[in-house]
Amino acid sequence: MDTGGVGEYVQAAGRAVLDMVEREWEPLSQAELEQRLDQAVEEILEADLIAKVRAQPQTIYVQLVQAPQPETQVLSTEPTKGDVLQEEETPGTQESLDSDSVDSNAVKHVTDLLQNSKAHYNRARLAGRARLSLSHTVVLSLTLLSKRISYRSVSNRFCLEKGNIHRIFFSFCERVNLLEEELIPWPVGCEAAESLFPLSSLPGQAEALEEQRVPQVLGVLGHTRIPIRLPIGKQDVESTVSEVKRMRKEAHPDSWLNLELVCDCKGRFLHCRISKGSDVDRAGALRDRLKQHPELMPPGSCLVARPGYPLTAQILTPHVVSQGPREDLYNKTLEVHLNVLDQAVANLKGRFQRLRYLDMGNYERARVVVLSACILHNALLDMGQVVEGGVDEEEAGVLEVEVEVEQEGLNKREAISDLLYKDLDSGSM
């Protein structure tokens, strides 16, 4: 048997195991190692002190036991059976968790969603190295998503090691990802019919267009970019430079993620697709899906999108070259809907400010975080919470050329343009 060949197999297996361990466990920094050492020494000294106190007269023992206890206690690194099954709150951590940083109603709502979810999840993985209650885990994770702060800052605030913060946060995001089908469903049947809204919102015109069988809008299709750190470099998390300018300056396409979205008239997401920046496809998969499953689009409905998306029987886009008032009127009618998506994206980034720049070089982990934010966006909208964000005019105003035009979509756009202009010319507006 070739000993050298066996050695190569053993080395390859060893490297695979090391890679798996590195993916699952965040290594401790020098400061965190020192913190653990200090903690171990304190526990030894404390145990020795308690042993000495118990050997003293009872009166001294009572005085020492009744002395004020520190507000923050060390969390056990090994979850007990009761913790895993019931996820009881860890004593002494309430004061250390900055619950004021996120809305308490949001925390309760998300906690209830996770507890009541039917999606299978291994709860033993949720808390990482140290055990936190589910509600505290939600507070910690929403804090990281809502603010552009480092893991080190959160580590100090929550009195947990940075590596453990990292683990808890990603386990939370993985668990939220399991709610995608429940919270970002494509509407069908009666729900889809109730989601339709008129192409034009001008008084009197909506009814006239409906009588002429002009399609109603099911949703608005578009995308945004989420900047991420390239694996070879690291940027400043607290930088105030415009993310759009930063992405244009960086030639490497994988310095961002593409986030493709469809939202309804209320800004709720109906579709979410995340891809690498090097992926130049624009809604190709969605276009094919709608063709293969026509039942996904109610009769007499359409999606509205900006130039750069395919013009089809199901997806309407503006005229790229305006040739007169007829085309201008059509474009302005669509622009009202497109602004809804721009505002929904602004609200998403306003609520979850970490999306303005993800300091992560791993695509899969960045994708998990972005999808979690989209799911939580819908969850919090459902409970009536709306965060108004400022629309990034640089990103929203980017003009693109038509990349794909289907004859059926072109005919539909021309017919709608004629009807809109005819109504205007006849004075019905």
**10-residue block means of pLDDT along the chain (429 residues)?**
64 65 52 63 72 63 39 35 33 41 87 84 48 86 91 80 86 96 94 91 59 85 91 50 53 84 96 93 93 93 94 94 87 94 96 92 93 97 89 68 87 91 63
d(CA 320, CA 403): 11
Phi (first) and psi of residue 180, to 5 degrees: -60, -50
End-to-end CA distance of the chain: 88
Collapsing DSSP to helix, strand or coil, 365 comes out as helix
Cα–Cα dist 284/275, whole Å: 12
220 DSSP β-pair partners: 263, 304
Spatial CA neighbour of 230 closest among 251, 254, 246: 254
Give the distance between the most distant pair of CA atoms in the chain.
Answer: 101
pLDDT of residue 421: 83
Q: Work out the burial of residue 99: count CB atoms within 10 Å of its CB; fewer than 13 is exposed, 13-18 middle, 19 or more buried.
A: middle
DSSP string, 189-211: HHHHHHH-B-S--STTHHHHHHH
Q: What is the pLDDT of residue 397?
A: 57
* DSSP conformation letters of 43-112: HHHHHHHHHHHHTS-HHHHHHHHTSPPPSS-PPPSS--HHHHHH-PPPTT-TTTS-GGGS-HHHHHHHHH
Question: Can you tell me whether residue 147 is helix, strand or coil?
Answer: coil
In the structure encoding, which two tokens stand for residue 364, read together? Answer: 């899969």
Nearest alpha carbon to residue 127 among 161, 167, 73, 157: 167
**Angle at which helices 407-426 and 325-351 pack, to 10 degrees?**
110
Give 238-282 pLDDT, tens digit per residue.
454 555 555 555 557 778 999 999 999 999 999 999 999 888 889
pLDDT attached to residue 375: 98
Compute the distance between CA of residue 305 and CA of residue 56 in angstroms, rounded to an integer: 79
What is the rounded CA–CA span in Å between residue 417 and residue 425?
Answer: 12
The model's pTM: 0.72
List Cα–Cα distances, 109 to 125, 335, 429, in angstroms. 21, 34, 44
Q: What gap in Å lies between CA 161 and CA 225, rounded to an integer?
A: 31
Strand partners, 272: 261
Nearest of 152, 298, 146 to residue 218 by alpha carbon:
298
